[in-house]
Chain A
Amino acid sequence: EVQLVESGGGLVQPGGSLRLSCAASGFTFSSYSMNWVRQAPGEGLEWVSNIATTGATMYYADSVRGRFTISRDNAKNSLYLQMSSLTDEDTAVYYCARDLHGDYAFDHWGQGTLVTVSS
């Protein structure tokens, strides 16, 4: 069974940093590109970032480019999101989502981790 378990969320002050993790199991992690998707309270889904299978290619939403860094450790079956210069607009539930193999659909999602940016 595919499982994605996010961790690392919490309360952080504006301008602060936070690192999210996503532990993957039940599939060959190194064979799938991975994503972070977020959802602000009461709002819709927003794609945040994608990383290719080897970690060689990364993409970011305009709203986070230059502040967030996606990475992965295939040996540890883990995905990460380093977030810095956080503002209240980054307050959201952050989901780790797997790409359908060789495709551009999010076929498995974690349960999400809440990031709250507030003083």
Chain B
Amino acid sequence: QSALTQPASVSGSPGQSITISCTGTNSDIGTYIYVSWYQQHPGKAPKLLIYDVSYRPSGVSSRFSGSKSGSTASLTISGLQFEDEADYYCSSYTSSNTPRVFGGGTKLTVL
């Protein structure tokens, strides 16, 4: 199962909004709602930000939002803060015999 496709890096200034894309296929994002997003700071474990395309777990800031169109999911971070600088990963359920897949990750730089 090939990884989902994410841009290697994105950047933005404090207060701005950025969007990270995650492109899959009809075997994963295109068919299932089980798209999730994770934030990982250096040396730390990943943290769940979004599940089922657009739902936020309790405690996650409303500045993080998710959406999906066709086989592409997106994570939008509004009101960028320096603390948002981290790596971001998407993940999806898939219909293959390896039922989970991650994107390659996107490094967010807050300038």
Q: A44's contact among B48, B97, B104, by CB below 8 Å, is which?
A: B104
Number of A-B residue pairs having CB atoms within 8 Å of each other in the complex: 69
Contacts of A62 in B (CB 8 A): 1, 98
CB–CB B52/A105 < 8 A: yes
Q: Taking the complex as formed, is A107 at the interface, i.e. its CB lies under 8 A from any CB of chain B?
A: yes
Contacts A62-B98, A105-B51, A112-B45: A44 and B36 contacting too (C-beta < 8 A)? no
Chain A: residues with CB nearer than 8 A to chain B? Answer: 35, 37, 44-47, 50, 59-62, 95, 100, 103-112
26 A-B pairs in the complex with CB atoms less than 8 angstroms apart: A37-B46, A37-B102, A44-B103, A44-B105, A45-B46, A47-B101, A47-B102, A50-B99, A50-B100, A59-B97, A62-B98, A95-B45, A95-B46, A100-B48, A100-B57, A103-B51, A103-B52, A104-B32, A104-B36, A104-B100, A105-B34, A105-B51, A106-B36, A106-B48, A107-B48, A108-B48
